[in-house]
Amino acid sequence: MHDVPEDVRAQAGAHAGIQAATPMTQPYPLRHWPEVPTRFVLARQDRFFPAEWQRQVVRSRLGIEPDEIDGGHCVALSRPTELVDLLETLRLRYART
């Protein structure tokens, strides 16, 4: 949370809970990825999952290029407006007509 404002960090801590272990212990339950547009938002200054590693994983596992944004691991807390702008841009780009 190196780039999250101190006041936001304090509030976020009050809402933190134990993360589910299921994603790391059980395989994905579906046989195929759903037929929906798939995107990946990569935070360039993420110290937990380095950007270059994420790019490689996204390319090899999803076969796409990630959509990148400045920010760290908790980009939703550090840059909420920029994240919403990116997500809205993606929603409009991939909206079904």
Write out pLDDT tens, residues 32-56: 878 888 899 999 999 999 999 999 9
Helices and strands, number each (H, E), in the chain: 5, 2
> What pLDDT is attached to residue 44?
97
- The SS3 assignment for 32 reads coil
Residue 54: predicted pLDDT: 97
User: Which has more pLDDT, 19 or 84?
Assistant: 84
* pTM of the predicted structure, to 2 decimals: 0.80
Question: 41: burial class by Cβ within 10 Å (0-12, 13-18, 19+)?
Answer: middle
Percentage of the chain beyond pLDDT 90 is 63
Instruction: Return the SS3 of 50.
Output: coil
Alpha-carbon gap, residue 38 to 81, rounded angstroms? 21
Mean pLDDT over the full length of the chain: 91
